């Protein structure tokens, strides 16, 4: 198969061997300043730009991680001039940020670069503040709650699960340090038919490889579902209201007769349910396990108890709860059921 050359930083991939050689390279280490400046134009959508997004993402990150020992607050404007390029931000090591903040910036930028590489129309702001799960609190924040509004939103929910299973210290199968500033290694190419391919090259089982697989999986799904993007689901431009649409309205189920109280449990169609707020825990502020949860609204789950772990291989991972078990094939089922009974949520 003859491959068209594509620039990943300053390297040209013209043959299969050269493409494989890209496995030794790192996106942010290879991309020159001019290339990063060009990404600014790709990322802009309406009034959204990557520098503003980084600030919004870090402010949200600060709110969600009050235990992080560094000063932020009013220093945002002094540390970041909105006119400064993203390239300078990266080259200066995060503009004077702490290690934790630099790690957040690097993860954020690498995720965006991978998504843009896969997109046909290279706009990223359209996926921020989208639906119930696509960065609902701004760029770099991948929490969410409720039922996805479409396949794009569903992909973001799966991405949130993927990240939680890396970084959440309570349920994560790897429990990677969240404040790491490491960059993962990745390569990619476009074949003569215009098909885009991208691959992660860090060793399997490492934190960087798992994070790369999560980003790659999201990028591939967003490319697949890109034509489905609908402005009516955007919080800013379509006036989508997640607090109204994404919440589980328990009163509607009560009045319909489908949901009934039996003791302290909710029962629908003779099956017990618990109703809880299930927000992504990494960068989302509370939720799926151990974090703050609302009382009786929002998402509804079978009454298996709290999330206790992750099941599967990155990027295809699922939560499993108390009363469930993780099968060797990555399937989640009832603790007393055979592994051919799928209870994956």
**pLDDT at 22 exceeding the cut of 50:** no
Asked if residue 14 belongs to a domain, the reply is yes
Encode pLDDT of 177-198 as tens digits.
Answer: 776 657 888 887 777 777 788 8
Contacts of 267 (CB under 8 A, 6+ apart): 259, 260, 261, 273
Characterize 151-183 residue by residue with b for buried, 16 or more Cβ atoms within 10 angstroms of its Cβ, and e for exposed.
Answer: ebbbbbbbbbbbbbbbbbeebbbbebebebbbb
Domain count, the chain: 2
Tokens at 102, concatenated: 């630099």
Q: What is the pLDDT of residue 219?
A: 93
Which residue, among 91, 71, 89, 72, has the nearest Cα to 81 in the 3D structure? Answer: 89
- 53, 126 Cβ separation under 8 angstroms: no
**Complete DSSP assignment for 220-271:** HHHHHHGGG--GGGBTTTS---HHHHTS--HHHHHHHTSEEEETTEEEETTE
Residue with tokens 């509607």: 252
Residue 240 within a domain: no
Interatomic CA distance for residues 218 and 222, integer angstroms: 6
Query: Do 261 and 217 belong to one domain?
Result: no
Establish if 239 belongs to a structural domain. no
Q: Which residues on neighbouring strands pair with residue 318, listed in sequence order?
A: 311
Pairing of β 271-275 and β 265-268: antiparallel
Q: Is pLDDT of 166 > 80?
A: yes
- Give the Cα separation of 198 and 187 in Å (integer): 6
pLDDT at 342: 57
> Are residues 273 and 167 located together in one domain of the fold?
no
Long-range contacts of 187-191 (CB under 8 A, 24+ apart): 187/8, 187/13, 187/19, 187/20, 187/22, 187/23, 187/25, 188/6, 188/8, 188/22, 188/117, 189/3, 189/4, 189/6, 189/13, 189/19, 189/22, 190/3, 190/4, 190/6, 191/1, 191/2, 191/3, 191/4
Question: Residue 123 and residue 341: Cα distance in Å, rounded?
Answer: 40
Percent of the chain whose predicted confidence (pLDDT) is above 90: 10
- pLDDT higher at 232 or 30: 232
- Examine the domain organization and report whether 10 and 52 are in the same domain: yes
Does the residue 121 lie in any domain? yes
Residue 103 belongs to what H/E stretch? helix 99-118
Same domain, 30 and 171: yes
- Asked if residue 163 and residue 100 are part of one domain, the reply reads yes
Are 50 and 183 members of one domain?
Answer: yes
Q: Any idea what the CATH number is for the domain that residue 25 is in?
A: 1.20.90.10
Lowest mean per-residue pLDDT among 4-13, 46-55, 104-113: 4-13
**Average model confidence (pLDDT) across the chain:** 63
Residues 196 and 252 in one domain: no
Same domain as 180, residue 85: yes
pLDDT at 104: 72
Domain boundary (233, 262, 286) is at 233
143 is in an annotated binding site: yes
Q: By residue range, what is the domain housing residue 303? A: 246-334
pLDDT, position 181 = 58
Q: What is the pLDDT of residues 130-164, one digit of tens each?
A: 999 998 765 556 678 788 999 999 999 999 888 88
* CA dist., res. 345 & res. 37, Å (int): 41
The two three-digit tokens of residue 293, written as one number: 């949860």
Last residue of a domain, one of 180, 203, 233: 233
| Pair (269, 125) in one structural domain | no
Claim: this prediction has a pTM higher than 0.85? no
């Amino acid at each position: 198969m003859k491959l068209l050359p594509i620039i990943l930083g300053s390297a040209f991939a013209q043959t299969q061997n050269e493409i494989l050689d890209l496995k030794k390279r790192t996106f942010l280490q290879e991309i020159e300043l001019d290339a990063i400046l060009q990404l600014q134009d790709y990322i802009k959508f309406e009034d959204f730009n990557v520098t503003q997004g980084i600030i919004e993402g870090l402010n949200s990150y600060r709110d969600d991680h009050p235990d992080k020992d560094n000063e932020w607050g009013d220093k945002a404007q002094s540390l970041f001039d909105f006119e400064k390029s993203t390239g300078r931000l990266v080259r200066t090591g995060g503009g004077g940020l702490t290690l934790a903040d630099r790690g957040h910036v690097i993860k954020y930028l690498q995720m965006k670069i991978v998504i843009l590489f896969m997109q046909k129309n290279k706009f990223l702001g359209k996926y921020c503040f989208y639906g119930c799960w696509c960065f609902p609190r701004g760029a770099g924040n991948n929490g969410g709650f409720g039922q996805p509004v479409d396949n794009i939103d569903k992909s973001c929910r799966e991405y949130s699960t993927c990240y939680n299973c890396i970084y959440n210290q309570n349920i994560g199968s790897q429990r990677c340090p969240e404040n790491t500033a490491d960059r993962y290694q990745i390569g990619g190419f476009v074949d003569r038919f215009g098909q885009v391919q991208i691959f992660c090259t860090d060793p399997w089982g490492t934190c960087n490889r798992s994070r790369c697989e999560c980003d790659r999986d999201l990028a591939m799904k967003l490319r697949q579902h890109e034509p489905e993007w609908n402005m009516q689901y955007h919080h800013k431009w379509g006036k989508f209201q997640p607090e109204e649409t994404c919440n589980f309205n328990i009163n509607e189920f009560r009045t319909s007769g489908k949901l009934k109280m039996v003791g302290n449990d909710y029962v629908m169609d003779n099956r017990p349910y618990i109703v809880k707020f299930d927000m992504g825990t990494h960068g989302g502020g509370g939720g799926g396990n151990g974090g703050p949860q609302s009382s009786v609204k929002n998402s509804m789950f079978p009454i298996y108890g709290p999330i206790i772990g992750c099941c599967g291989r990155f990027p295809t991972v699922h939560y499993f709860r108390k009363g469930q078990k993780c099968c060797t094939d990555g399937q989640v089922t009832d603790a007393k059921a055979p592994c051919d009974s799928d209870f994956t949520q």
